[in-house]
Chain A
């Protein structure tokens, strides 16, 4: 397969705008028919979607709706520490779900923590998707040595579970940061660690589809009128792989959120001074034996609900977009 020469021609503009129109009508078609029907047909899926939206909304608005700012040291008092939820006998109405060992309001901490969980989840999924898409398109379109090199790397990485890869990248980054005494930036370390451990699945899927698509006539036509390979990959082939990629991304979002919580729980994620569901559970776990169940129960429940809702959405999307199951 010869690659087309890299050159810009007046046709490129016309072709790309035509592509945009095609993508737009594709989106309209998508929203119009089967997908929406199958969505409304299952009450469970609608409930999961509402749940996800509610949690994302509450998390993003957390600075506005949280009753306290749990990370404002002036407002937090140790005198309020270890209080049970408001409906328990020694509870306080100021703290609906109780307080933790530092006197931080659990409800507010959950809201802030969910926000960082979701933000890290989204950013790392975007990163994994960007890497996986580009490498998959490149491997599938270029073929030959580039293909086998990229896929070999993917195979090596696939030998290890993603959580282990994330832990390793995170651990190495921690060691580097420690040696150079750079403070902060843990958020981005986590995003990179999780993003780099999840790209393989995208790359493999995208490569598979690209291998089929690159031999089709529209790609050949695009090549003939002199469109560069990068443009062909991203504007012509990409719309055809976006369906399965979205499915993987949805399921990966749940995985990424769980991974972030796990890393924070293990003590190598976000530091205790930054809100995170995993850190809250880690702290709460220490107080489980003294009977302070609320410190771990509410963040744990939030995390489980979030993961379950996103998983349900992902499962539904996979079945709905899979023509075999219709």
Chain B
């Protein structure tokens, strides 16, 4: 277990250094940081002095080491576009994205697992076919179209839910939450459905496939032979055994949710990190792009690491080769 954790830790560090190198190259070589920071009438000497101060004349290796040290403290300089420290901008935007992502994940699980169990038990009922058709559409429809559709129905036609922004927010320490006000909760509904729909179909399909597999096993037959009630068999015996892969997939999907939040946040003008990132891409705001890249990579690596550890902990069958050998 310890050896496995240490090896995973090394792999995680490798990923982070690779991403840091990419972010550094982006930061250093795409565009000239100096000409982004000064006005047109700055003299050449002033520019040169600024270069010296910023350490842009040092050897590349030294610069990369400095970049790594800054990144470890999450210092990414000043945004070209907004003229504010990148760290402050991200600290302001992060809670919005996290609240949206977690609500979406909750929605996906709360609906996906029951739908998966139902379609797994009642294979040929018409309701199962409806669920599976919904899941096929959920896979085929691009996220932004689902968002626009929901906006059209619930905001334009019926006018019951807001179509943009977070509503009223409450400041608790550094965290600005929308979960404590009525308008904040209302504003959360459409974006989290939009973001969670794809994950929900994924959970449904996964739970269904696992249920079909488990229901065929001997211990389920034996439970039936013992005359246990159907409900106890389905939920106590079958569902419980499907949950290990489901937990893994959901854990890994939290990373995907954060990435897909870019699209959802753009559709709903949700003031989170995704919207910030897409605006940075449009404006070639490299410091923000680099910081977002590092932060998202860190979150992904952290989630992968935790999921791997949980997986090994929960399922004693996996030892030496780890989940990488068995799952995608």
Q: Give me the interface of A with B, judged by CB distance under 8 Å.
A: 152, 155-156, 159-161, 163-164, 167-168, 170-172, 174-176, 178-179, 254, 258, 261-262, 265-268, 281, 285, 288-289, 291, 293, 296, 300, 303-304, 307-308, 311
Contact = CB atoms under 8 A, between A and B. Distances in A.
Contact of B289 (A163, A171, A265): A171
Main secondary structure of the interface of B (DSSP, over half): helix
B90 interface: no
A176 B281 CA distance: 11
Contact of A167 (B15, B140, B256, B262): B262
A268 B279 CA distance: 10
B304 interface: yes
24 contacts: A155-B324, A156-B15, A160-B259, A171-B280, A171-B281, A172-B30, A174-B281, A175-B30, A178-B284, A261-B144, A262-B144, A266-B278, A266-B281, A268-B281, A268-B282, A281-B145, A285-B148, A288-B152, A300-B145, A304-B145, A308-B137, A311-B136, A311-B139, A311-B140
Interface string B20-56: 0000001000111000000000000000000000000
Contacts of B300: 159-160
A111 B99 CA distance: 40
Given A262-B142, A307-B140, A289 B284 contact: no
A174 B301 CA distance: 27
Main secondary structure of the interface of A (DSSP, over half): helix
Nearest to A268: B281
A159 B144 contact: no
Contact of A161 (B15, B256, B267, B301): B256
B266 A175 contact: no
Interface residues of B, number: 47
B284 A175 contact: yes
Interface of B: 11, 14-15, 18-19, 26, 30-32, 136-137, 139-145, 148-149, 151-152, 156, 163, 255-256, 259-260, 262-263, 266-267, 277-278, 280-282, 284, 286, 289, 293, 296-297, 300-301, 304, 324
Best-buried of A261, A265, A308 by chain B (most CB within 10 Å): A265
Given A160-B300, A262-B263, A267 B143 contact: no
A126 to B, nearest CB: 22
A207 to B, nearest CB: 14
Given A159-B15, A289-B156, A303-B145, A164 B140 contact: no
A258 B137 CA distance: 13
Given A160-B300, A176-B30, A303-B142, A168 B293 contact: yes
Nearest to B143: A262
